[in-house]
Chain A
């Protein structure tokens, strides 16, 4: 069965590249560009993997993750955090909030797709 990835990202050009890459890798891709809608969308229909940008309008990535981890429906959802802020404290905050992986922009396409595949496999294991 096709695995579903939700991409919570507000940069349209990055969304376009990632959608292309993930579809090529065989995933079904959904997109949300606003924090609050991303949260609602995940809770309404939990995807196999969530790619979550930190800087999102309305609700930032950390807050979304905190709320997801407090909700039974999404407590074990594999989450990859994506951000241009690559400082150590950002990585620590992401992991504390419950992210499974943390990748900084600019990223290598192959590395990102491999990470999503790993998380998707881990989720179904």
Chain B
């Protein structure tokens, strides 16, 4: 078994740094014969003694206690069973021996398998991205339309030499006009692809974290389960102390679980994304401890999803409440929420999307969303009935709050939290729109919006 390699690792490491068994035994205060038994895996070892040995050997404890070997063992066994390696007669029953005798080779093999896995996952993401990218789809559609005009007009000029002069002139004009539009689209496409190249990857860390939340529908049942058990430890009525305690409990009890959770998700590939995902899941766990799901569901239902009332009941911020609302388990009678957060520059800094509702990151977003307007009247909840060009209707609820220290003469730095839900789902909430409430026409972004006469347009639509 893997555990038997702890002694082997101690023996190897001691030899690497060139000290004798007797010397190490003396330094940690045990007999040389006892250390000998440990080194030959004939005595179990843990606790203080293991920590002392690790310290003397300049190693992290997980390098000795078998935890990292255990993970390596699992990885290698998994590799041995990969369908692509079937028929290679891998001696998976001797994996522990491989790790014990050739740890460097074993780790390299796991690293190779991991990078192969990451590379193919990335290739798949890129290929899906290419076929689903709204910008590329629109650009291709527009190019084909332009080419159709040019081809048809050119064929007419060739096939009908007897056509009246003024018609011929029109077709020449069409070819010249459409060629110009075609080269504009080509240029826009080249700029778009260059941008992707500059970033050297099409997915940003924020995209990766969003992909993780989307894959789990914003709900992490394993964290919820622990949070329910940890919640009773919050005894202070004071919001700041409750938050600090929730954070402490999360760090103490849930760090490992969060790490494993991120490790098990292909969506999170890069180190930068892992750091972001860890922070996002820590926040999730803190929210889950402050607002345990069962109680949160009951209050949400009773208060009809009123974010301010919920914030008061749970003595926590509006943003935390919005996060919790997106995490509500999917059942028939529960509205489905999305959440967006924007800073004063209008940059989206967080997005937990809803199906059919997204803000493009690489194009000018629609300024008509209440998300951007809420900072004109901070600390006030504003509702917007939004109608999209596709006919989809959403209800947006936004509120701007100050994020920095307050005091006389201090500048205010507002961010806006915005909750989104479909108009149908909004009927179950306090934000249900009265039938005569005004409906505002908004769009996804100028590029993708066909409302030609919009006064706020800053870019031409792609589908012109």
Chain A residues close to B by CB (< 8 Å): 11, 13-14, 16-18, 20-21, 24, 55, 57, 84-86, 104-110
Task: For A57, give the chain B residue with the smallest CB separation.
Answer: B450
User: Does A13 lie within 8 Å of B153, measured CB to CB?
Assistant: yes
Known contacts A13-B149, A14-B152, A20-B160, then 20 further A-B pairs from the complex at CB < 8 Å, ordered by chain A residue: A11-B145, A11-B148, A14-B145, A16-B153, A16-B170, A17-B152, A18-B152, A20-B156, A20-B171, A21-B152, A21-B156, A55-B463, A84-B148, A85-B141, A105-B145, A105-B147, A106-B144, A108-B155, A109-B159, A110-B155
Bound form: Cα–Cα A110–B160 in Å: 12
User: Does B156 lie within 8 Å of A17, measured CB to CB?
Assistant: yes
Q: List, in ascending order, chain A residues with CB within 8 A of B144's CB.
A: 84, 86, 104-106
Chain B, 172-204, CB within 8 A of any chain A CB: 174, 177-178
Bound form: Cα–Cα A17–B147 in Å: 13
Q: List, in ascending order, chain A residues with CB within 8 A of B149's CB.
A: 11, 13-14, 17
Q: Is the interface of B mostly helix, strand, loop or mixed?
A: helix
Bound form: Cα–Cα A24–B345 in Å: 58
Q: List, in ascending order, chain B residues with CB within 8 A of A107's CB.
A: 148, 151-152
Bound form: Cα–Cα A85–B171 in Å: 24
23 pairs, CB–CB < 8 Å, chain A vs chain B: A11-B145, A11-B148, A11-B149, A13-B153, A13-B177, A14-B145, A14-B149, A16-B153, A16-B171, A17-B152, A17-B171, A17-B174, A20-B156, A20-B160, A24-B160, A84-B142, A85-B141, A105-B147, A106-B147, A106-B152, A107-B152, A109-B156, A110-B159
Bound form: Cα–Cα A60–B167 in Å: 30
User: Does A106 lie within 8 Å of B163, measured CB to CB?
Assistant: no
Task: For A82, give the chain B residue with the smallest CB separation.
Answer: B148
- CB of B159 to closest CB in A, whole Å: 7
Chain B residues close to A by CB (< 8 Å): 141-142, 144-145, 147-153, 155-156, 159-160, 163, 167, 170-171, 174, 177-178, 450, 463
Q: List, in ascending order, chain A residues with CB within 8 A of B163's CB.
A: 20
Q: List, in ascending order, chain A residues with CB within 8 A of B153's CB.
A: 13, 16-17
Q: List, in ascending order, chain B residues with CB within 8 A of A20's CB.
A: 156, 160, 163, 167, 171
Bound form: Cα–Cα A109–B156 in Å: 8
User: Does B156 lie within 8 Å of A106, measured CB to CB?
Assistant: no
Residue among A13, A57, A109, A110 making CB contact with B174, cutoff 8 Å = A13
Task: For B150, give the chain A residue with the smallest CB separation.
Answer: A106
- CB of B79 to closest CB in A, whole Å: 37
- CB of A34 to closest CB in B, whole Å: 13
Task: For A17, give the chain B residue with the smallest CB separation.
Answer: B152
Bound form: Cα–Cα A99–B152 in Å: 23
Q: List, in ascending order, chain A residues with CB within 8 A of B142's CB.
A: 84
Bound form: Cα–Cα A14–B142 in Å: 13
Q: List, in ascending order, chain B residues with CB within 8 A of A11's CB.
A: 145, 148-149
Task: For B174, give the chain A residue with the smallest CB separation.
Answer: A13
Bound form: Cα–Cα A57–B178 in Å: 21
Bound form: Cα–Cα A13–B147 in Å: 11
Q: List, in ascending order, chain A residues with CB within 8 A of B155's CB.
A: 108-110
